[in-house]
């Protein structure tokens, strides 16, 4: 007997599991549309990873009773929400909007300092969410070439579960229209989702 309904057409496209979140220097890699960050840029273990492409719509209506004639996008955004498990200086620096340099200030897992107070606009960073499909071959990479991490930092310590810190990466305009942007992003100013 034939099956009915939404039968799977390609099992290799089913996503199960979390993406690896990689963070790097935005200015250094702004001219690259391909994934450039490696596993050494990973924030480590995650409790959740969620991409959201937001769009605000305006609708033209006419007649009586009113009927819709046209829909136009008026605002677009892209963000990635995640909860990281590894509570270390580098990850907390990112959460506080500090784009660390190569100085190694936050390179140790168990020593360093995150200053509290005096927060300003978060620094620009590059974020790549690298997801490997279950076949171990195909990948999907969400690239924010010029992002800011927006978060209210919460470290919820539990008696019998690992603490997780929720943060949100917001993609910002990376086109040549923006200071710090590049023309390679002119047709995709918020980044791209790249499949291999």
Does 63 reside within a domain? no
CA–centroid distance for 92 within its chain: 16
Q: Domain for residue 171, yes or no?
A: yes
Model confidence at 73, in pLDDT bands (50, 70, 90)? very high
Residue range(s) defining the domain that contains residue 36: 16-54+71-195
Q: Is residue 6 situated within a structural domain?
A: no
3-state secondary structure of 192: strand
Tell me, what DSSP letter sits at residue 61? E
Mean pLDDT throughout 62-72?
96
40-61 pLDDT tens trace: 999 999 999 999 999 999 999 9
Question: How many domains is the chain partitioned into structurally?
Answer: 1
Encode pLDDT of 78-130 as tens digits: 999 999 999 999 999 999 988 766 556 788 888 888 889 988 899 999 999 99
In angstroms, how far is the first alpha carbon of the chain from the final one? Answer: 36
Q: What percentage of the chain has pLDDT greater than the value 70?
A: 97
The predicted structure's pLDDT at residue 106: 84
What's CA 81's distance to the chain center, in Å?
7
Beta-bridge partner residues of 99:
none
Residue 62 lies in a domain: no
Q: Is residue 10 part of a domain?
A: no
pLDDT band at 164 (very low <50, low <70, confident <90, very high): very high
**Is the CA virtual torsion 110, 116, 118, 121 positive or negative?**
positive
Structural domain contains residue 107: yes
pTM > 0.75: yes
Structure confidence at residue 27 (pLDDT): 94
User: What does the chain come to in residues?
Assistant: 196
Lowest-confidence pick of 3-7, 45-49, 90-94, 173-177: 3-7
**CA gap 171, 191 in Å, rounded:** 7
pLDDT in the model for residue 112: 83
């Amino acid at each position: 007997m034939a099956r009915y309904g939404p039968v799977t057409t390609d099992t290799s496209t089913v996503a199960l599991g979390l993406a690896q979140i990689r963070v790097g220097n935005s200015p250094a890699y702004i001219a690259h549309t391909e994934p450039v960050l490696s596993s050494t840029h990973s924030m480590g273990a995650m409790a959740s990873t969620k991409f959201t492409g937001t769009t605000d719509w305006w609708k033209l209506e006419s007649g009586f009773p009113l009927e819709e004639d046209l829909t136009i996008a008026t605002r677009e955004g892209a963000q990635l929400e995640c909860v990281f498990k590894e509570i270390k200086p580098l990850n907390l620096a990112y959460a506080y909007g500090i784009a660390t340099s190569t100085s190694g200030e936050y390179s140790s897992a168990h020593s360093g300092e995150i200053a509290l107070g005096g927060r300003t606009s978060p620094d620009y960073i590059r974020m790549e969410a690298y997801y490997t499909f279950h076949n171990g071959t195909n990948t999907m990479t969400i690239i924010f070439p010029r992002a800011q991490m927006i978060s209210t930092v919460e470290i919820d310590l539990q008696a019998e579960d690992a603490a997780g810190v929720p943060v949100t990466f917001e993609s910002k305009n990376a086109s040549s229209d923006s200071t710090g942007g590049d023309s390679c992003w002119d047709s995709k100013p918020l980044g791209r989702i790249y499949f291999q």
